[in-house]
């Protein structure tokens, strides 16, 4: 079996918000109406709740590398850290679980838990495996063609997020991370041609709205003036204007024939007086 038509979804958010925002991608991929769905995960409690919300009947598979890592930790808790016996026991437990399933391995772990005094790490690890017995039947999963490793998810972390956002010298403000993830997912999911235009139109509309809000904050509208009542203005009485004063009319000769220039006037009145 080979995985095809891979799509990714990524957000920086808490578990509840992430589950709500992932609903669109899950609906687009038809998870709700698919005939069979498998969820390969590391067994974290929030991932169990994620599957319960979106597809409760999904087949749950504990990621094989995580299961092998837990078996190694249990063997080292009993036989010593990085000892030869711990390595041999861990290898034997991994081989049995891969080929036979969880029955024999759980019986051995139960015997370790009953030892006196029981190691707290062994007790916690055995209880964790018992809670997930149905997620450990790797021979049945492989026979049905299901993947048993979360390599596609781990690769998505590297190719989708880290390759773009963890370059040398990069520092990101938290409000800028999810918008960049949305743009990166359009490229990795090969949806830029179909969804890119709508996303850019929404982005431009949001920028225009923010610009209007900043302009309104800088230039607020003046408050409306309170209503005023005008007092009644009395009608003024008519004023009769007096006739203009009579001016002496100039003679017709003066108005029509100005005096002729005298030759002595050019030298002033003192010379004309010696005449």
236: left (phi over 0), alpha (psi -120 to 50) or beta: beta
pLDDT at site 1: 65
pLDDT at 227: 73
Cβ burial of 165 (10 Å; 0-12, 13-18, 19+) is middle
**Band of the pLDDT at 275, cuts 50, 70, 90?**
very low
Q: What is the pLDDT of residues 201-232, one digit of tens each?
A: 888 999 999 999 999 898 887 887 777 766 66
Sort 180 into a burial class: Cβ within 10 Å, 0-12 / 13-18 / 19+. Answer: middle
In a domain, 93, yes or no: yes
pTM of the predicted protein model: 0.69
| CA dihedral over 250, 255, 260, 262, signed as positive or negative | positive
Res 257 pLDDT > 80: no
CB of 17 closer than 8 Å to CB of 48: no
Distance CA 126, CA 76 (A): 14
CA neighbours closer than 13 Å in the CB half-sphere of residue 220: 4
Residue 228 lies in a domain: no
Counting residues of the chain whose pLDDT is more than 90, the rounded percentage is 44
Residue 11's pLDDT is 93
Does residue 75 fall inside a structural domain? yes
At 39, give phi and psi (nearest 5°).
-120, 105
Say if 12 falls within a structural domain: no
The answer, yes or no, to whether residue 100 has pLDDT greater than 70, is yes
For residues 90 and 108, the answer to whether their CB atoms sit within 8 Å is no
Tell me the CA end-to-end span of the chain in Å, nearest whole number: 142
Domains held by the chain: number: 1
pLDDT at 116 (0 to 100)? 62
14 vs 274, more confident: 14
Which tokens in the block code for residue 76?
């080292």
**Amino acid 233: pLDDT:** 65
**Nearest Cα to Cα of residue 188 among 9, 22, 11, 2:** 9
Report if residue 97 sits inside a domain: yes
Is residue 143, in this structure, part of any structural domain at all? no
72 in any annotated domain: yes
Residue 126: enclosing H or E segment and its boundaries? helix 120-131
pLDDT value at position 155? 86
Mean pLDDT value across residues 103-109:
92
| pLDDT tens digit sequence for 35-94 | 999 999 988 889 999 999 999 999 999 999 999 999 999 999 889 899 999 999 999 999
User: Using an 8 Å Cβ cutoff, are 114 and 123 in contact?
Assistant: no
Q: Note the pLDDT tens digit of each residue in 151-173.
A: 888 888 888 888 888 888 888 89
How much of the chain is in helix, strand and coil states, percent to nearest 5?
60, 5, 40
Predicted confidence (pLDDT) at residue 244 exceeds the cutoff of 80: no
Q: Name the pairing type of β-strands 38-41 and 59-62.
A: parallel
Q: Is residue 253 part of a domain?
A: no
Percent of the chain with pLDDT over 70: 81
| Backbone angles phi and psi of 83, in degrees to 5 | -95, 160
Q: What is the mean pLDDT of the chain?
A: 84
DSSP per-residue string spanning 69-122: HHHHHHHHHHH-TT-HHHHHHHHHHHHHHHHH-SHHHHHHHHHHHTSSSPPHHH
Query: Can you give the residue range of the structural domain that contains 100?
Result: 64-134
């Amino acid at each position: 079996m080979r995985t095809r038509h891979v799509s990714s979804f990524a957000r920086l958010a808490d578990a509840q918000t992430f589950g709500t925002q992932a609903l669109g991608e899950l609906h687009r991929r038809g998870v709700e109406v698919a005939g069979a769905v498998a969820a390969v995960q590391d067994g974290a409690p929030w991932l169990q709740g994620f599957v319960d919300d979106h597809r409760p009947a999904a087949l749950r598979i504990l990621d094989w590398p995580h299961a092998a890592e837990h078996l190694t930790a249990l063997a080292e808790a009993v036989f010593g850290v990085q000892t030869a016996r711990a390595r041999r026991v861990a290898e034997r437990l991994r081989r049995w679980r891969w080929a036979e399933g969880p029955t024999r391995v759980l019986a051995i772990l139960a015997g370790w838990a009953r030892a006196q005094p029981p190691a707290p790490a062994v007790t916690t690890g055995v209880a964790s495996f018992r809670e997930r017995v149905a997620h450990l039947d790797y021979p049945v999963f492989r026979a049905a063609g299901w993947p048993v490793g979360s390599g596609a998810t781990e690769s998505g972390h590297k190719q989708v997020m880290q390759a773009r956002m963890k370059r040398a010298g990069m520092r990101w403000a938290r409000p800028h991370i999810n918008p960049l993830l949305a743009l990166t997912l359009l490229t990795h999911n090969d949806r830029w041609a179909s969804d890119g235009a709508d996303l850019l139109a929404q982005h431009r509309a949001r920028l225009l709205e923010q610009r209007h809000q900043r302009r309104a904050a800088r230039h607020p509208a003046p408050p409306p003036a309170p209503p005023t009542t005008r007092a009644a203005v009395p009608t003024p009485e008519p004023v009769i204007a007096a006739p203009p004063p009579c001016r002496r009319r100039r003679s017709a000769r003066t108005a029509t024939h100005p005096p002729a220039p005298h030759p002595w006037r050019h030298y002033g009145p003192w010379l004309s007086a010696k005449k």
